[in-house]
Amino acid sequence: MLEYNKSIIGVTDGFNKDAAILVNSYPKVPLTVDCVIFAFEDNALKVLLIKSDLDQYKDQLSLLGDMVHSNEDLDVAANRVLMARTGMQNVYLEQVHTFSKIGRHPGGRVVTTVYASLLNFKHHEMKIHENELKWHAVNQIDTMAFDHKAILDYAYKWLQKRIQEHPLALSLLPEKFSLRQLQNVYEAILNTKLDRRNFRKKFASMGLLLDSNEMEINVTHRPGKLYTFDYAKYELSKRNWVGIDF
């Protein structure tokens, strides 16, 4: 029975009374998670925001967040927020940073752990239009409630870096995508123009794109090939990089 509990609670040693007394002496703090939910639409990087429900921040934009429940893992809480707002599960989600500045919340001390999530806009049917839940172009947001603008800036920089090291961009696209769409994602996120031929060569040389044998349809120009990303091969080939560069 003890063994059973151990595996349930995820630690190799069970509950301990002395430890509990110690932990009970610690100050306790309200925790939240905030999700920076990115998507890609109309060749622009968008983020899902809501109007703050605090009078103080009336009409100001806010990230999607919620309290962390009493016995809830932060990853679980972030997934719960995502599910509640988008109805989607199994979405790319990664912890970014924990913000704890005293005074960051007008209701007193609140520590928040921020997650970034990337999802495919087309897969997503917004559940409810409560509190004006809407997509906003990331680079057109000026002020937000709480410290959320600073958090968004942090998450955006995080994304710019991550997208160059990991195939995150694919999470923003449908399963089948054209090279143009892929390049548009990179250009939008990195806020730069890339050479089309070099971009295509780069991805071709990686050998991680699978030709789906389908083409774009209903486009007003020569249709491009659609590809899928070879996640299996990517997982196998993750390299152990050594290259000092700063």
Tell which positions 128-187 bind DNA, by CB under 7 A: 178-180
Query: In whole angstroms, how close is the CB of 232 to DNA at the nearest point?
Result: 22
Residue carrying structure tokens 């994602």? 185
Strands 64-67 and 61-62: unpaired
Nearest distance, CB of residue 165 and DNA, angstroms: 12
CB 171 within 8 A of CB 234: no
Amino acid at 9: I
Question: From the list DNA, a second copy, none, which binds 180 (C-beta under 5 to 8 Å, kind-based)?
Answer: DNA
CB of 217 to a second copy, least distance (A): 28
Give the three-class secondary structure for 220: coil
Considering only 35-43, 79-87, 102-110, 122-130, which stretch makes contact with a second copy by CB under 8 A?
102-110
Binds a second copy (CB under 8 A): choice among 24, 89, 140, 205: 24
Q: Which long-range contacts (CB under 8 A, 24 or more apart) does 230-238 make?
A: 231/167, 233/207, 233/208, 234/167, 234/208, 237/208
Neighbours of 232 (CB within 10 A): 10
d(CA 94, CA 73): 13
The rounded distance, in Å, linking the Cα atoms of 43 and 185 is 7
Binding mask 204-243 for DNA (x = CB under 7 A): -x---------x--xxxxxxxx----------------xx
Distance between CA atoms of residues 31 and 170, nearest Å = 31
Contact with DNA (CB under 7 A) among 42, 53, 132, 195: 195
Q: Does position 4 bind a second copy by CB under 8 A? A: no
User: Which does residue 24 touch among a second copy, DNA, none (CB within 5 to 8 A, set by kind)?
Assistant: a second copy
Which residues lie near DNA (CB under 7 A)? 178-180, 195-198, 200-202, 205, 215, 218-225, 242-243, 245
